[in-house]
Structure 1
Amino acid sequence: MSGKEDSSSDATTQQEQSTSKDDESKSSTESSPENTTQDTNTEKSSEENVQTPTNTTESSQEPTQPPEAAGAAATSSSSPSGSGGSTSDMAGEKIEFKVVYNKKKFDITFGSEETVGALKAHLQDVIGVPSTMQKVMIKGLAKDEMTLKKLGVAKGSKIMVVGSTLNDVLEVTKKPTPQQLKEEEVTESAKESLSQQKQHKKVLEKGPPEDVMPGIKNVKEALPPCPISGMVNKTGGKVRLTFKLELDQVWIGTKERTQKIPLNSIKTVVSEPIEGHEEYSMLALQLGPTEASRYWIYWVPNQYVEAIKEAILGKWQLF
């Protein structure tokens, strides 16, 4: 009996173990869908994480410009005024030429497209003459707005510059004012007339020269384009006056020589109509500090006397 009970007990135990395994298998099967869902979510999350850098890469590539556009932008930024080019291009090709001032030569290098006004500003420190007081002579008086290229300036060209330094201007301030000149004329008239003074009377007694220019009384005219000729000096020699305003000079020509006198070196001008020949005047240019330095000229056509004074003194009376 005991042998049958033991075998029955063993069979029951095996059945219970088999049933337990089946239950564990079912439990495992039931829980596997949840694990599968979690794995699927994990894979989706992983795919999303992988896609995120891709979107970042795409967003970083959106503002990037094509090489052609970048090159155009670089070209545009390198040019100060768009298509205007660099400053050196605007100045034009560099030209080497000489500037002559007061018998001195200066080697200058300047742009062909630069203006005369810009050249004056450059020369101010070179020759010591303020730009506003310079006159640049290139085939005549050159205007400030004209370029060197337009004026035909090339390599090796020579440019003449005339003008007065600040020291010359300050020296001019020592000249008499218009009021002082009038007072001097009144004083002179109070004395014996110039025509009656012995040194002048001796010259005037010979009468007007045959080739003297016609004189007009009580008329004022501008300086003629030609020299004023036919006059005489205190020795009776023929004299002609040529005004070189572009050089700020007056040339006193005689048979022996021609004196080139800077206008700003003449201290004063004295004149008086000739008695009995009021269509003519006698005129003196004071070349030094005293009356002894006066250069007398006789039979000056009266219509040009005021123009002569204005050319010599008028431009300086403002200082």
Structure 2
Amino acid sequence: MEDQNMNSDEENKSSGDKEFVEKREDASKNMETAVTDSPSEIIDTSSAEIAVAAEVTPVTSEQTDTPAGLSQPNLQPTSDATVPTVERPPREPINIKIIYNKKKYDHFIDINCTILELKCDIEKLTGVPVATQKVMYKGSTQDTQTLKQLKVSKSANKFMVIGSTMDDLLKVATPDIKAANSSGAGTATATSKEPLCKQTVHKKVLDKHGKPEDVAVGIKGAALPLPNTPLSGMYNKYGGKTRLTFKLDSDELWIGTKERTQKIKMPSIKDIVSQPIEGHEDYHIMGIQLGSTEASKYWIYWVPAQYINAIKDTALGKWGEF
């Protein structure tokens, strides 16, 4: 009985072993099939991706810099493209007269040139640097103005130049010591004199007529260019209302009163002196030297202080401060 049981167990074991072996063989075959089929699938997939990639248009570096939704502009010029040019007005030469330091210069220049360009020509003619020039034509001028804008013509073509040459500036910077020592006594005498407003002849005029009501407002310590209108509201030694008009086109200074207008050629003016009025330092007493003697001075009272330098500069043809 025991032998029969043992034989039965052995048969079951062998049959189980056989089944196990068969399962292993099946599993092995499945694995071989999987290994064999897998590369072909990978190859097929890679080929499909390569085919798709081949259809994609290559992206250039220029396209990568262009924002999405915007097309790259065509920067290459077309055959019909033209470059615009700025046309300068045709040259219109005109003869002008330049007056500097009582000398006159004839000069041809394009009427479309600016005052700054004219100043460059004036520096070559007179030696006055552009930076120190003041050019006047019927009043003050601006560097950006053209001669055409100023309405320069054959009949109105005179320019007054005010300024100092480099030699003049150097002379002022290095004064003559010997001359200063030799004139020391005279300087002391001159400085010891009473101010103009305290001298009897001028004090009488000031006390008698007082300050004019219609005189322009004076500004102490200022230096302004001459206005475009005559200076008025002042009076002369007789108390007569006086106005000053600078006629640069004819190089004249007009001194007008109620009775008459005296037209003075500016080159004939020898000197101009002035002093502030004490207690009213925003106004000056001014004397215009018309001859060689003290009696030839034309005295004007209550001249606004801010115009004193401009009057001297224009009448004498050089900077009063130098």
Given the two structures, how large is their TM-score scaled by the length of structure 2?
Answer: 0.43
Tell me: higher relative CO, structure 1 or 2? Use CA pairs within 8 A at least 6 residues apart. Answer: 2
Structure holding more helix per residue: 1
